Amino acid sequence: MSLSVGDRAPEFNLPDQDKQVVSLADLRGTPVLLVFYPFAFSGICTGELCQLRDELTNYTDAGVTVLAISTDPVFSLKAFKAQENLDFTLLSDFWPHGAVAQAYGVFNEKAGMALRGTFLVDADGAIAFAEVNGPGDAREQSGWKDAVAALAA
Protein backbone atom coordinates (compact mmCIF):
# COMPACT_ATOMS: atom_id res chain seq x y z
CA MET A 1 0.00 0.00 0.00
CA SER A 2 1.46 3.31 -1.09
CA LEU A 3 1.58 6.38 1.11
CA SER A 4 -1.00 9.15 0.79
CA VAL A 5 -0.97 12.92 1.21
CA GLY A 6 -0.80 13.76 4.91
CA ASP A 7 1.04 10.56 5.89
CA ARG A 8 4.37 10.84 7.67
CA ALA A 9 7.24 10.11 5.27
CA PRO A 10 9.23 7.04 6.38
CA GLU A 11 12.76 7.94 7.44
CA PHE A 12 15.72 6.43 5.63
CA ASN A 13 19.49 6.44 5.34
CA LEU A 14 20.75 5.46 1.90
CA PRO A 15 24.11 5.69 0.13
CA ASP A 16 24.35 8.04 -2.82
CA GLN A 17 26.28 7.48 -6.03
CA ASP A 18 29.49 8.41 -4.15
CA LYS A 19 28.76 6.06 -1.21
CA GLN A 20 27.91 9.02 1.05
CA VAL A 21 24.94 8.31 3.32
CA VAL A 22 21.95 10.62 2.86
CA SER A 23 19.38 10.78 5.63
CA LEU A 24 15.87 12.13 5.17
CA ALA A 25 15.96 13.29 8.80
CA ASP A 26 19.00 15.47 8.03
CA LEU A 27 16.95 17.27 5.37
CA ARG A 28 14.10 18.16 7.75
CA GLY A 29 13.22 21.84 7.37
CA THR A 30 13.53 21.57 3.59
CA PRO A 31 10.98 20.12 1.16
CA VAL A 32 12.26 16.98 -0.58
CA LEU A 33 11.06 15.45 -3.86
CA LEU A 34 11.57 11.67 -3.81
CA VAL A 35 11.54 10.12 -7.27
CA PHE A 36 11.60 6.32 -7.18
CA TYR A 37 12.46 4.69 -10.52
CA PRO A 38 12.99 1.08 -11.65
CA PHE A 39 16.47 1.00 -13.21
CA ALA A 40 19.33 3.24 -14.25
CA PHE A 41 20.03 3.20 -18.00
CA SER A 42 16.54 1.94 -18.93
CA GLY A 43 14.68 3.91 -21.59
CA ILE A 44 11.74 5.41 -19.69
CA CYS A 45 13.79 6.05 -16.53
CA THR A 46 16.53 7.81 -18.49
CA GLY A 47 13.94 10.00 -20.24
CA GLU A 48 12.24 10.91 -16.96
CA LEU A 49 15.44 11.73 -15.11
CA CYS A 50 16.83 13.72 -18.03
CA GLN A 51 13.61 15.76 -18.10
CA LEU A 52 14.00 16.30 -14.36
CA ARG A 53 17.62 17.38 -14.97
CA ASP A 54 16.54 19.82 -17.68
CA GLU A 55 13.80 21.32 -15.49
CA LEU A 56 15.63 21.09 -12.16
CA THR A 57 15.43 24.84 -11.49
CA ASN A 58 11.64 24.47 -11.12
CA TYR A 59 12.45 22.59 -7.91
CA THR A 60 15.68 24.11 -6.67
CA ASP A 61 14.41 27.67 -7.10
CA ALA A 62 11.52 26.70 -4.78
CA GLY A 63 14.00 25.34 -2.21
CA VAL A 64 13.23 21.68 -2.92
CA THR A 65 15.93 19.01 -2.66
CA VAL A 66 15.55 16.33 -5.36
CA LEU A 67 16.51 12.72 -4.58
CA ALA A 68 16.10 9.92 -7.13
CA ILE A 69 15.98 6.39 -5.67
CA SER A 70 16.39 3.00 -7.35
CA THR A 71 17.41 -0.49 -6.30
CA ASP A 72 20.57 -0.23 -8.42
CA PRO A 73 23.98 -0.55 -6.72
CA VAL A 74 25.98 2.65 -6.14
CA PHE A 75 28.43 1.82 -8.94
CA SER A 76 25.65 1.79 -11.55
CA LEU A 77 24.28 5.05 -10.17
CA LYS A 78 27.67 6.74 -10.38
CA ALA A 79 28.05 5.73 -14.05
CA PHE A 80 24.44 6.71 -14.83
CA LYS A 81 24.81 10.13 -13.20
CA ALA A 82 28.04 10.80 -15.13
CA GLN A 83 26.70 9.58 -18.47
CA GLU A 84 23.48 11.63 -18.26
CA ASN A 85 25.04 14.64 -16.48
CA LEU A 86 22.42 14.50 -13.72
CA ASP A 87 22.66 17.42 -11.28
CA PHE A 88 20.82 15.81 -8.38
CA THR A 89 21.54 13.00 -5.95
CA LEU A 90 20.90 9.36 -6.87
CA LEU A 91 20.31 7.02 -3.93
CA SER A 92 20.81 3.26 -3.86
CA ASP A 93 18.09 1.17 -2.20
CA PHE A 94 20.10 -1.93 -3.09
CA TRP A 95 20.54 -3.47 0.36
CA PRO A 96 18.52 -4.49 2.19
CA HIS A 97 17.07 -4.80 -1.28
CA GLY A 98 14.21 -2.35 -1.81
CA ALA A 99 13.65 -1.68 1.90
CA VAL A 100 12.91 2.03 1.41
CA ALA A 101 10.74 1.39 -1.66
CA GLN A 102 8.83 -1.13 0.48
CA ALA A 103 8.36 1.47 3.24
CA TYR A 104 6.89 3.86 0.66
CA GLY A 105 4.72 1.11 -0.84
CA VAL A 106 6.38 1.19 -4.26
CA PHE A 107 8.40 -2.03 -4.38
CA ASN A 108 7.64 -4.64 -7.02
CA GLU A 109 8.80 -7.77 -5.21
CA LYS A 110 8.50 -10.06 -8.25
CA ALA A 111 10.77 -7.87 -10.37
CA GLY A 112 13.00 -6.68 -7.49
CA MET A 113 12.59 -3.04 -8.44
CA ALA A 114 10.93 0.18 -7.38
CA LEU A 115 7.80 1.33 -9.16
CA ARG A 116 7.62 4.89 -10.49
CA GLY A 117 6.61 6.50 -7.21
CA THR A 118 6.89 10.24 -6.66
CA PHE A 119 6.53 11.83 -3.24
CA LEU A 120 6.90 15.46 -2.22
CA VAL A 121 7.81 15.59 1.46
CA ASP A 122 7.16 18.94 3.13
CA ALA A 123 9.61 20.64 5.51
CA ASP A 124 7.92 18.95 8.49
CA GLY A 125 8.21 15.43 7.06
CA ALA A 126 4.64 14.93 5.81
CA ILE A 127 3.71 13.74 2.33
CA ALA A 128 2.39 16.75 0.37
CA PHE A 129 2.10 14.95 -3.00
CA ALA A 130 2.01 11.25 -3.87
CA GLU A 131 1.73 9.49 -7.21
CA VAL A 132 2.56 5.95 -8.31
CA ASN A 133 2.85 4.80 -11.91
CA GLY A 134 3.22 1.24 -13.12
CA PRO A 135 6.46 -0.16 -14.57
CA GLY A 136 5.80 0.78 -18.20
CA ASP A 137 3.94 4.05 -17.55
CA ALA A 138 6.04 7.19 -17.89
CA ARG A 139 5.18 9.97 -15.45
CA GLU A 140 3.64 13.30 -16.36
CA GLN A 141 5.79 15.68 -14.35
CA SER A 142 3.39 18.63 -14.35
CA GLY A 143 1.74 17.28 -11.19
CA TRP A 144 5.05 17.49 -9.32
CA LYS A 145 5.58 21.06 -10.44
CA ASP A 146 2.08 22.07 -9.36
CA ALA A 147 2.63 20.47 -5.94
CA VAL A 148 5.96 22.27 -5.52
CA ALA A 149 4.35 25.59 -6.51
CA ALA A 150 1.52 25.03 -4.03
CA LEU A 151 3.99 24.17 -1.26
CA ALA A 152 6.09 27.24 -2.03
CA ALA A 153 3.06 29.57 -2.03
Domain boundaries, the chain: 35-152
Mean pLDDT of 88-103: 97
Map residue 67 onto helix, strand or coil.
Answer: strand
Query: Can you give the pTM of this predicted structure?
Result: 0.95
CATH of 35-152, one of 3.40.50.150, 3.40.30.10, 3.40.50.1970, 2.60.40.10: 3.40.30.10
Q: What is the pLDDT of residue 135?
A: 74
Q: What is the pLDDT of residue 59?
A: 94
From residue 144, how far is each of 16, 99, 110, 150 by CA, in Å? Answer: 22, 24, 28, 10
Mean pLDDT of 101-119: 95
Mean pLDDT of 37-50: 94
Mean pLDDT of 85-101: 97
The whole-chain average pLDDT of the chain stands at 94
* Catalytic residue numbers, as ranges: 45
pLDDT at 1 over 70: no
DSSP 8-state class, residue 14: E
